[in-house]
C-alpha cells in the first residue's frame, strides 16, 4: 500500500488535479473491482459498483480524513457498496446468492468446472460479513489490523469471522468434492 | 482406535482451530507453536484438518485476479467530477512548473532549449510524415482511440424471479439519457409498464427489441412494451425535459405482467 504517495495524490485531487485523480483510479481500479467481484460473483455488477465507488470517493474527497489510510477508506466504500448490493439482491429475489444469473458471460460459462469457480461458489454461500473478511484477507491481501480498520470491527472479531468462514468453506468444498 | 474417514472429520475444539488458523497466518507465539506441534504429533484429526486448511488457504491466496472490463477505466475517468472547495485555487499544471520538474528545469535557458527541441522534432515529424503514405493503422494510432463507456453510470437496479417470469432491470445515466435496461425471460406474453409521470422525462426510443410480436405504446408519462414469451433484452431511453427541483430524485415505476397477470412491481430511482 503506497501510503505516502496516496496522501500526496489525494491532496492534489483536493486541488482539482485530474492527473492525480487518474493515478488513483489506475492504482485502485483493479483491487476495488476484484473485491467487488469476489463479494458479488458477477462481472457486470462488480463493474457498476467500481464506478459507483470512484464516483463517491472523488465526490467526497474533500471530506477524506487523512488520519485514516486512503486504501482503508476506498476499500470501506467498496465493501459497503458491494454488501448493499448483495442485500438489495436478497430483498428482491428470495434465492440463494450462489444461484448464477441466467445471463452469465461466455467466459463465466467456461469457468464453471474450474477450482476457482468452486471456491467462488463456496465463497458465495457465506454470509456477507464472513465473505467480506475472506475477500479482504485472501484476495485483497490485507492484514488483520487493516481489515479491522476497513470494517471498523475489533481484530479479535476479524479473526473469529475469518476462522469460522474458513471452516464453512472447507465443509462446502468437501461436500462438492463428494 | 478407529481412524476417522476423510469425509467425516470430528469437530475440533475451538482453541485447536484457533491454533491451526493462527499458525497458517503466522500469528502464533513460541509457546503456542510448541503446543500446536505437540497436538499435531498426537492427533490425526488435527493433522488432517491442518492439511485441509492449508490447502484451502493456498487456493484462496492464489485465486486469479479478475481483469476489469476494458471500458471501465475510461468510464470512471469520464464520469468523475472533482469537487473543489471555493477557497482552493485550482492549479493548472504547466510544462515548466517547478512543482513538476524542479527549479533547474524552469531556468530561462532550459525553456529556450525545449523550444528549439520542439521545433526540431516538429520539422523531422513533418518531413517523415510527408515522405510516406499513412496507413489506416497509422492514422488511428495518431488520433488515438477513446473507449466509449457502453454502460454509463448505474443509478439503480431491480431483479426478480417469479414462477412464470424472471427479470433484471438496470437504470443508468448514459450519454445524456436515462437508460432503462430490461432483461426478461417469460413463459407467456410479457408486458412491461414503465411509469415516469411528473418526473420531467419523455420517452425517447427503444433499442435492441426484436420486432417479431413486439409492440411499444408510449403515452404521456409512461411507456408499455409487449413482447412474446422467451428471452428479451432491450433498452428504453428517456430524455429529461426540465431539471428536477433541487434535492429531488428521479423515481420510475415498473410493472411486469405475464399473460395479463401482474407478476412484479418495482421502483427505480436515481439523482439524475
- State the cell numbers at B30: 513460541
Full 3-state SS string of B12-73: CCHHHHHHHHHHHCCCCCHHHHHHHHHHHHHCHHHHHHHHHHHHHHHHHHCCCCCCCCCCHH
When pLDDT is cut at 50, 70 and 90, the band that residue A9 belongs to is: very high
Q: Which chain B residues are within 8 Å of A52, Cβ to Cβ?
A: 153-154
Picking from B9, B11, B68, B155 by the largest number of A CB atoms within 10 A of its own CB, the best residue to mutate is: B68
Question: A43–B21: do the CB atoms touch at under 8 Å?
Answer: no
Residues 58-117 of A with CB under 8 A from B: 58-62, 88-89, 92-95, 101-103, 115-116
Per-residue pLDDT tens for A77-99? 999 999 988 887 766 554 444 34
Per-position b or e across B142-159, b if 16+ CB within 10 A of its CB: eeeeeeebebbbbbbbbb
Within A38-176, strands assigned E span none
Contacts of B100 (CB under 8 A, 6+ apart): B93, B94
- Checking if the pLDDT of A57 tops 90, the result is yes
Q: Which of B61, B69, B168 sits opposite A47 (nearest CB)?
A: B69
Distance of alpha carbon B166 from alpha carbon A175, whole angstroms: 29
Question: B56–A173: do the CB atoms touch at under 8 Å?
Answer: yes
Question: B60–A134: do the CB atoms touch at under 8 Å?
Answer: yes
Residue-level pLDDT at B246: 66
Question: A30–B81: do the CB atoms touch at under 8 Å?
Answer: no
Residue-level pLDDT at B182: 93
Distance of alpha carbon B11 from alpha carbon A171, whole angstroms: 11
Closest C-alpha to B59, from A163, A58, A120, A81: A120
ipTM rounded to 2 decimals: 0.84
Average pLDDT per consecutive 10 residues, chain B (272 residues; last block may be shorter): 45 86 90 92 91 92 88 87 63 46 52 55 46 40 42 77 88 84 90 91 87 84 92 90 74 92 86 57
Q: Looking at per-residue confidence, does B210 or A128 come out higher?
A: A128
Residue-level pLDDT at B132: 42
Q: Which chain B residues are within 8 Å of A34, Cβ to Cβ?
A: 65-66
Question: Sheet harboring B250-258: ordered strands across?
Answer: B215-219, B222-227, B190-195, B250-258, B261-270
Residue with cell 440463494: A96
Q: Is A162 helix (H, G, I), strand (E, B) or coil?
A: helix
Q: Which of A30, A55, A139 sits opposite B63 (nearest CB)?
A: A139
How far A7 CA sits from the closest chain B CA (Å)?
16
Distance of alpha carbon A138 from alpha carbon B62, whole angstroms: 8
Q: Which chain B residues are within 8 Å of A138, Cβ to Cβ?
A: 57, 60-61, 63
Count contacts between A and B (CB, < 8 Å): 139
- Checking if the pLDDT of A26 tops 90, the result is yes
Q: Looking at per-residue confidence, does B199 or A31 come out higher?
A: A31
Task: Report helix, strand and coil shares of chain A as percent, to nearest 5.
Answer: 80, 0, 20
CB B50 within 8 A of CB B20: yes
How far B89 CA sits from the closest chain A CA (Å)?
7
Question: A51–B76: do the CB atoms touch at under 8 Å?
Answer: yes
Residue with cell 512543482: B99
Picking from A90, A134, A155, A163 by the largest number of B CB atoms within 10 A of its own CB, the best residue to mutate is: A163
Tell whether B160 lies on the interface with A, counting CB pairs under 8 A: yes
pTM assigned to the model: 0.62
Closest C-alpha to B81, from A31, A18, A162: A18
Amino acid at each position: 500500500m503506497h501510503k505516502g504517495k496516496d496522501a500526496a495524490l489525494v491532496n492534489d485531487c483536493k486541488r482539482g488535479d485530474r492527473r492525480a485523480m487518474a493515478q488513483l483510479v489506475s492504482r485502485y481500479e483493479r483491487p476495488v473491482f476484484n473485491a467487488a467481484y469476489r463479494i458479488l460473483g458477477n462481472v457486470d455488477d462488480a463493474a457498476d459498483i467500481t464506478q459507483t465507488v470512484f464516483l463517491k470517493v472523488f465526490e467526497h474527497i474533500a471530506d477524506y480524513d487523512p488520519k485514516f489510510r486512503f486504501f482503508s477508506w476506498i476499500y470501506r466504500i467498496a465493501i459497503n457498496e458491494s454488501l448493499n448490493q448483495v442485500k438489495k439482491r436478497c430483498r428482491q429475489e428470495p434465492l440463494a446468492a450462489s444461484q448464477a444469473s441466467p445471463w452469465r458471460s461466455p467466459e463465466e460459462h467456461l469457468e464453471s468446472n474450474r477450482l476457482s469457480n468452486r471456491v467462488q461458489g463456496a465463497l458465495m454461500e457465506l454470509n456477507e460479513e464472513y465473505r467480506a473478511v475472506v475477500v479482504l484477507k485472501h484476495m485483497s491481501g490485507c492484514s488483520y489490523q487493516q481489515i479491522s480498520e476497513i470494517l471498523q470491527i475489533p481484530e479479535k472479531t476479524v479473526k473469529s469471522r475469518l476462522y469460522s468462514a474458513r471452516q464453512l468453506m472447507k465443509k462446502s468444498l468437501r461436500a462438492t468434492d463428494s | 482406535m478407529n481412524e476417522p474417514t476423510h469425509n467425516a472429520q470430528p469437530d475440533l475444539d475451538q482453541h485447536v482451530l484457533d491454533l491451526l488458523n493462527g499458525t497458517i497466518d503466522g500469528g502464533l507465539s513460541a509457546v503456542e507453536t510448541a503446543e500446536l506441534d505437540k497436538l499435531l504429533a498426537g492427533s490425526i484429526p488435527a493433522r488432517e484438518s491442518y492439511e485441509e486448511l492449508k490447502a484451502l488457504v493456498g487456493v484462496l491466496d492464489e485465486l486469479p485476479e479478475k481483469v476489469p472490463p476494458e471500458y471501465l477505466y475510461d468510464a470512471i475517468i469520464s464520469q468523475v467530477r472533482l469537487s473543489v472547495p471555493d477557497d482552493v485555487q485550482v492549479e493548472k499544471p504547466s510544462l515548466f512548473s517547478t512543482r513538476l520538474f524542479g527549479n533547474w528545469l524552469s531556468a530561462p535557458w532550459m525553456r529556450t532549449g525545449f523550444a528549439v527541441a520542439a521545433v526540431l522534432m516538429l520539422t523531422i515529424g513533418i518531413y517523415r510524415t510527408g515522405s510516406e503514405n499513412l496507413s489506416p493503422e497509422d492514422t488511428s494510432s495518431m488520433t488515438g482511440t477513446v473507449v466509449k463507456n457502453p454502460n454509463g453510470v448505474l443509478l439503480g437496479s431491480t431483479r426478480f424471479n417469479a414462477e412464470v417470469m424472471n427479470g433484471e432491470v438496470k437504470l443508468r445515466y448514459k450519454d445524456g439519457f436515462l437508460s432503462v435496461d430490461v432483461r426478461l425471460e417469460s413463459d407467456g406474453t410479457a408486458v412491461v409498464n414503465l411509469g415516469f409521470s411528473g418526473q420531467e422525462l419523455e420517452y425517447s426510443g427503444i433499442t435492441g427489441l426484436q420486432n417479431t410480436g413486439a409492440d411499444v405504446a408510449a403515452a404521456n408519462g409512461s411507456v408499455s412494451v409487449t413482447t412474446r414469451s422467451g428471452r428479451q433484452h432491450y433498452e428504453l431511453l428517456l430524455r429529461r425535459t426540465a431539471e428536477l427541483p433541487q434535492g429531488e430524485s428521479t423515481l420510475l415505476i415498473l410493472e411486469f405482467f405475464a399473460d395479463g397477470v401482474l407478476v412484479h412491481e418495482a421502483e427505480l430511482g436515481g439523482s439524475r
